Amino acid sequence: MRHFYFNLSISATDYLRYYQGAANTVIVHTHNGLKLSLPAASLRQFVTHSGIVGQFRITVDAQQRLVALERVPPSS
């Protein structure tokens, strides 16, 4: 299993486009410079009235499939 960390800030209005199906994926840049494509639906659990804001950790398996996505406390 591999872990990648990234920060995300998507307004509620912008995420609404994903929710409505206008876009299916979200592209993020990890802290170590990789670009990852995530299914927009995987972020739904983190949506608040403000949108989605925070630092996240994604875990993928050997075939690069999403295993887990979680919000983590900001690193100091």
pLDDT at 76: 53
**pLDDT in the model for residue 52:** 93
* Secondary structure element (H or E) that encloses residue 15, with its range: helix 12-19
Q: How many domains does the chain have?
A: 1
Provide the residue range defining the domain that includes 54: 2-72
From residue 75, alpha-carbon distances to 19, 29, 71 in Å are 29, 16, 12
pTM of the model: 0.86
| Interval 11-69: pLDDT, tens | 988 888 877 877 888 999 999 999 999 998 899 899 898 899 999 999 999 999 999 99
